[in-house]
Chains A and B, each alone.
Chain A
């Protein structure tokens, strides 16, 4: 996979099950973000095939890929990527505005998502008024508000201190367990790795270890 002279991923054969809480682990340049982008239909493999939620990513048109992301996927970014001119409520509401939902339905879902991340008291705040941990919890709320089947998180704790990182991970784990949402992380943060139920180690674009962590382990 990859283009031109640089091959980001090679010889991958991976399957993810619904409800997994797994991570792509590896140093910078190992290909974890590229793989996450392909799963998220933001990028396409130059060779081989990626089937996500029954859709072959490389054969999707831009519109189809956008629809797939809009309906079935949530994204969490390292730098939160909240839209600065919107309030917390509006940021979380944004994915729902792209779907056919009524205002009342949107309000209910946004409030439920904010309750999940324990940010009901920040509904009218702007991103600039939030701490890093709060901003990332808003990003999580935005990712889960449409109840997606798959949430992709790229280094979600990289900009957070330990306490905030644990809070975020607790929240995501709770969502995974109670809503059965599939989480795939790209990370090299030990705090995240400790929470993962499946750990896929990548190095230089190749899977070097795929480990399933059994309960109680």
Chain B
């Protein structure tokens, strides 16, 4: 208690120098929490939207399927296995057939993927019901970004060319019946959705699927021969990696800021010990051991961090609360991030995030406060009392 009182009074006695350090530290606390909260929000938002619109509770991939190698698409399909057919029939899984095709928007040639899906499915939140309309034309659904880039609008007829299972080219027109507004780029860019049965028929692949997405409520998916189950950890890896890389970039920025602040505290401590030699000697004469005096000076440095928390809380809590509830408008649309982002990002601040931020800053502040204080251990009280350096 004595040490705390002494440390506090000494720190406050430094006036502007102390408040500058405290101010910068409080800014660092708020900045780290805010910045990391943005990335947590980004991950949650992207993950939630991806689960909702694309990956559900996980996906069974045909053993040949490799989304990064379009050449494998010709071979990556097979009939839905009976174990999974039961799930499909029960409405707990939805098969998707993926095939390559070419379209000719505005006279250009563009390779796309055709994705066949059951229009009546309820597993994914994309509006596939629009594909079920009883039309003579082939119904197609495009994502907002795909439509924007190719100037598609509802009712447009699109000419498509593809190969069937035997490698024979075929072509026909389809009609854009729906432009969905999913923010998940991997269900939007470079692809058109159509009814599964129509695609199977067009490609002479009756009953075939490339992947089967299961309900997100489903736990413990069965092992199926010839099909590989991909869970969330696998399917969200890209999102995790993108967010992680952005976190690292942010961490470098506030590490530099923290370093500058720690340098200021270190400098203040060195100066304090040099200027307050008489006080150190007096405290020893009054009955303090060197260890206790070191503790007081270390605590004094730590107080910068503690008061930084208080000051940071004063303006940081309203600021963080406001950004978490109102969201932060993004300067550009989510598709340029490569992950599912809406126009407004809602940061997520967890107790863990706040705790770890406070812990890291306090630890580093304690270390830089302690290092100069060790000099006290080498001081002779008789010299210190007279303000001499020993």
The chain A residue sitting closest to B8, CB to CB, is A85
Supposing A70-B286, A97-B2 touch, asked if A79 and B278 sit within 8 A by C-beta, the answer is yes
Q: What is the bound-complex CA distance between A94 and B382, given in angstroms? A: 20
Contact call A85/B13, Cβ cutoff below 8 A: yes
Q: How many residues of B contact A (CB 8 A)?
A: 22
Q: Mark B277-289, 1 if CB is under 8 A from A, else 0.
A: 0110110111111
The chain A residue sitting closest to B281, CB to CB, is A81
Q: How many residues of A contact B (CB 8 A)?
A: 25
The chain A residue sitting closest to B380, CB to CB, is A43
B385 part of interface (Cβ distance < 8 Å) = yes
Residues from 71 to 120 in A contacting B, C-beta threshold 8 Å:
71, 75, 77, 79, 81, 83-86, 90, 94-95, 97-98
Q: Mark A20-39, 1 if CB is under 8 A from B, else 0.
A: 00000000000000000100
Binds B, one of A10-18, A59-67, A198-206: A59-67
Complex contacts, A86 vs chain B, CB 8 Å: 9
Contact call A62/B9, Cβ cutoff below 8 A: no
Contact call A40/B285, Cβ cutoff below 8 A: yes
Contact call A84/B13, Cβ cutoff below 8 A: yes
Return A194 CB to nearest CB of chain B, in Å. 26
Q: What is the bound-complex CA distance between A43 and B13, given in angstroms? A: 31
Count A/B pairs, Cβ under 8 Å. Answer: 57
Supposing A42-B385, A43-B382, A98-B2 touch, asked if A81 and B278 sit within 8 A by C-beta, the answer is yes
Contact call B282/A77, Cβ cutoff below 8 A: yes
Complex contacts, B62 vs chain A, CB 8 Å: none
Supposing A83-B279, A85-B13 touch, asked if A98 and B385 sit within 8 A by C-beta, the answer is no
Q: What is the bound-complex CA distance between A42 and B12, given in angstroms? A: 30
Contact call B13/A62, Cβ cutoff below 8 A: no
Contact call A81/B287, Cβ cutoff below 8 A: no
A197 part of interface (Cβ distance < 8 Å) = no
Supposing A77-B385, A84-B13, A97-B2 touch, asked if A42 and B288 sit within 8 A by C-beta, the answer is no
Supposing A81-B282, A83-B282, A85-B9 touch, asked if A98 and B288 sit within 8 A by C-beta, the answer is yes
Known contacts A75-B286, A77-B282; can you find 19 more A-B pairs with CB under 8 A? A42-B381, A43-B380, A43-B382, A62-B289, A62-B290, A66-B289, A70-B288, A75-B285, A79-B278, A81-B281, A81-B282, A83-B282, A84-B13, A85-B10, A85-B13, A97-B2, A98-B2, A98-B288, A142-B286
7 A-B pairs with least C-beta separation? A70-B287, A85-B13, A81-B282, A97-B2, A75-B285, A69-B287, A66-B289
B interface list, Cβ under 8 A from A: 2, 5, 9-10, 12-13, 278-279, 281-282, 284-290, 292, 380-382, 385
- A-B pairs with beta carbons under 8 Å apart, 21 shown: A42-B381, A42-B382, A42-B385, A43-B382, A66-B284, A67-B287, A69-B286, A70-B286, A71-B287, A75-B282, A75-B285, A79-B278, A81-B281, A81-B282, A81-B385, A83-B279, A85-B12, A86-B9, A98-B286, A98-B287, A142-B286
